[in-house]
Amino acid sequence: MSRSVLLERPGRRRMIKGEAPEPGPGEVLVRVAAAGICGSDRELYEGGRPEPYRRFPIVPGHEWSGTVEAAGPGVDPSLVGRPTVGEGFVNCQVCDRCRAGDTNLCVAGYDEIGFTRPGAFADHLIVPARLLHPLPSGTDLRAAVLLEPAAVAAAAVLQAAPLPGERVGVVGAGTLGLLTIQLLAASSPAELVVSDPRAGREPVARAGGATAYFHPDRFGALDLDVVVETAGAHDSAAAAARQVRRGGRLVLTGIPGGVPEGLSPSLIVGRQLAVTSVFGAPASAWSHAVRAFTSGLLDLAPLVTHELPLEAYPDAVALLGQGGEDVGKIILRP
């Protein structure tokens, strides 16, 4: 027997039960250990996710960890029993972007586990085996559920390309920001400055390597070499740009809802900023995040603050919406 949360349309969900699905050629069946909730899951539940990036009815859940339970035809049988995480973007592998390694920018059309195909808010999950990132035996799968956002943070840090001794900054101390802090700290910066309005996030940020922590209202011009924006607030991109020195680097990861404050071209050009962004994570960023985790450079477990059963999916979404300084990563445990 296998259970799944089926979101029939925004706000309407039900638990369904049936036999565990059978993996097809090139696929594996994963028994889900944990599945994370993030802002895009809340958008999906509340109906705010744009139409090209969702499909109803859908089993949500794109952040997950688990154990391979069965392998389909053509898949290495030694994968069975391995703890694993996996990429969400199901790419075509043959377009120019995929061949260049930008698998998250596949031109064949958006297709992501948990949004356009069944996700991990379930006891079992079908995944193309080529998307797996197997983990060592004994891995803490509760912590490993954070490797999906960690891969996005890794993509941002790889874009930022920090050098030892540079002065770096992060705007936003949510899950993505806290992961970015840890990865930036591994580059041995001279300073690692963090901006977030939630004072309660400061201890976790400093534990991850932050050397200074400010409320955005007191985040003056710091002339940093590189800043990674992770907040996705209406004015966070412009606020981040103002902290970068002339000729410095800015990486944007947040997607603000509503109408954002404009990032002025005159600010970018006048300061000769190099501005880049990330959308999800390519396979290379996943590999980077997994290596950092398995080698001990990423400490993910402390970021999990709430664990709920699969049946409590709407409660988890509501808890995320309430925010609060004590709400970090929320996970569902089948």
Query: Which pLDDT belongs to residue 262?
Result: 77
Query: Which pLDDT belongs to residue 263?
Result: 87
Query: Residue 200's CB: how many other CB atoms inside 10 A?
Result: 12
pLDDT in tens, 34-47: 999 999 999 999 99
Query: Residue 69's CB: how many other CB atoms inside 10 A?
Result: 18
User: How much is the average pLDDT of 84-102?
Assistant: 97
The CA distances from residue 26 to 8, 75, 112, 295, in Å, are: 28, 5, 17, 29
Read off the pTM. Answer: 0.96
**Closest Cα to residue 42, out of 55, 64, 60, 15?**
60
Query: Which pLDDT belongs to residue 256?
Result: 79
Query: Residue 10's CB: how many other CB atoms inside 10 A?
Result: 15
Which residues partner with 58 through β-bridges?
A: 7
Structure tokens that stand for 279 in this block: 């959308």
pLDDT in tens, 98-107: 999 999 999 9
User: How much is the average pLDDT of 120-128?
Assistant: 98
pLDDT in tens, 256-311: 766 667 788 999 999 999 999 999 999 999 999 999 999 999 999 999 999 999 99
**Closest Cα to residue 85, out of 145, 171, 142, 37?**
145
